[in-house]
Amino acid sequence: MSKLQIRPARRDDIATILMLSIGGNAPGREIVDDPEAAQSDDYQRAFDRIEKDPNNLFFIAELKGEAVGCMQINLLLGIAGRGRLRAQLEGVHIRADHRGQGLGGEMMQWAIAFAKSKGAGMVQLTSSKNRPEAHRFYERLGFVRSHEGFKLSL
Amino acid sequence: MSKLQIRPARRDDIATILMLSIGGNAPGREIVDDPEAAQSDDYQRAFDRIEKDPNNLFFIAELKGEAVGCMQINLLLGIAGRGRLRAQLEGVHIRADHRGQGLGGEMMQWAIAFAKSKGAGMVQLTSSKNRPEAHRFYERLGFVRSHEGFKLSL
């Protein structure tokens, strides 16, 4: 049994989230050109907006008190299906030096249980077509690859 | 030039949204077994919750005062990319008897402009693998089919 602890992200996790998102694997190594980036107004404002949105939840996964993963769960309220709620996962990351230990699966199982506890009828996510190993991972968890994911950069 | 008018959905649009979501094409024809369904507490509560969520926006497209389409735009606030905002489209529907007239494209262009006006850096959506004609439609609009869409029913 792993000791993964999952808790809501705090403002002082911004640098950690950035590191995990870019894939850096050493806590002390900043992943953006500007070492002050995490303190910048852009990130602070982004955190403010997320904090005010009760349907946008950011989590940090810790192992022995050290942040090793993060994920964002958006609760999407719909009308169809008697007001079906979907839980959408974005930005699911595990620190590179902690992969292959089942932590990603554990984090996903936690996310699925969380979605159920909120009354969601579906969990959904998209994964880059370049990542077949991630696709097998999601399929092992019971996800069905039923849709094409389209993105338009603005 | 079409006369498509796009406006926020109102509570009395619930029956219309259900009809459009299921694909019924006659305004008078209810699409669910229970003709009172749109008045049911489930739908009313769903509308309440959506109304309270400033990042969950439901729109109705009207042609000459008649509802012919609907779509939901969720604004997903992130941390990475200096607080990148994504606009996600769900439940994009055009009434069956109004397809093939370019209204879907017009509605999508409106959604893209709306996303830009909100500062979004990306518009995203998923489309069932069973709908190749929809995929060509999104690709013509500039979307890139870069991801696999995974769903897990709970």
**What pLDDT is stored for residue A139 in this prediction?**
97
The complex's ipTM works out to: 0.90
Mean pLDDT of B112-130: 96
Cα separation of B64 and B95, whole Å?
14
List, in sequence order, every beta strand (DSSP E) within chain A.
4-8, 56-63, 66-77, 85-94, 122-128, 144-153
If pLDDT is split at 50, 70 and 90, which confidence band does A31 have? very low
pLDDT at res. B99? 85
Among the partner residues B42, B49, B116, nearest to A154 by beta-carbon distance: B116
Segment A2-23 shows an average pLDDT of 87
pLDDT of amino acid B34: 54
Q: Is the pLDDT reported for residue A117 higher than 70?
A: yes
Is it the case that residue A30 has pLDDT exceeding 60?
no
pLDDT at A23 exceeding the cut of 60: no
Position A151 in a domain:
no
pLDDT given for residue A26 in this prediction: 39
Q: Is residue B154 part of a domain?
A: no
What stretch of H or E contains A134?
Answer: helix A132-140
The pLDDT-based confidence of B33 (bands split at 50, 70, 90) is: very low
Tell me, yes or no, whether B34 lies in a domain: yes
Band (B27; pLDDT cuts 50, 70, 90):
very low
Cβ atoms within 10 Å of B56's Cβ, excluding its own: 22
Domain count, chain A: 1
pLDDT > 50? residue B22: yes
What's the whole-number mean pLDDT along residues A33-53? 79
- Contacts within 8 Å (CB) and 24+ apart, A36-39: A37/B82, A38/A14
Site of tokens 């005062």: B65
Q: How many residues are recorded in chain B?
A: 154
CB-based burial, B72-87: b 16+ in 10 Å, e otherwise: bbbbbbbbbebbbbbb
Task: Give the pLDDT of residue A82.
Answer: 79
Least CA distance to B72: which residue of chain A? Answer: A78
Domain containing residue B82:
5-140
Contact residues for B124 (Cβ-Cβ < 8 A; gap 6+): A126, A149, A150, A151, A152, B86, B87, B88, B89
Q: Is the pLDDT score of B35 beyond 80?
A: no
Question: In this complex, is the C-beta atom of A109 within 8 Å of any C-beta atom belonging to chain B?
Answer: no
Query: What mean pLDDT comes out for the span A90-112?
Result: 92
Contact call for A80 and B146, based on CB within 8 A: no
In a domain, B71, yes or no: yes
pTM equals 0.89
pLDDT at B28 over 80: no
For B31, phi and psi rounded to 5 degrees?
-100, -10
Higher pLDDT, A150 or B37: A150
* CB-CB contact of A43 with A19 (8 Å): no
pLDDT in tens, A40-49: 788 889 999 9
Domain contains B150: no
Tell me whether residue A153 is in a domain. Answer: no
Closest partner CB to A151 (pick from B82, B90, B146)? B146
CATH number at residue B97: 3.40.630.30
Residue A10 forms part of a structural domain: yes
Restricting to B residues 54-93, those with a Cβ less than 8 Å away from any Cβ of A are 54-56, 58, 72, 74, 76-80, 82-83, 86, 88, 90-91
> Torsion-angle region of residue A119: left (phi > 0), alpha (psi -120 to 50) or beta?
left
What pLDDT is recorded for position B143?
Answer: 98
3-class DSSP assignment, residue B36: coil
Whether A141 has its CB under 8 Å from any CB of chain B: the answer is: yes
Question: B62: which strand partners?
Answer: B5, B67
Whether residue B110 is contained in a domain is answered as yes
Cα–Cα distances in Å, from B59 out to A124, B42, B71, B116? 22, 20, 5, 16
pLDDT of B152 reads 97
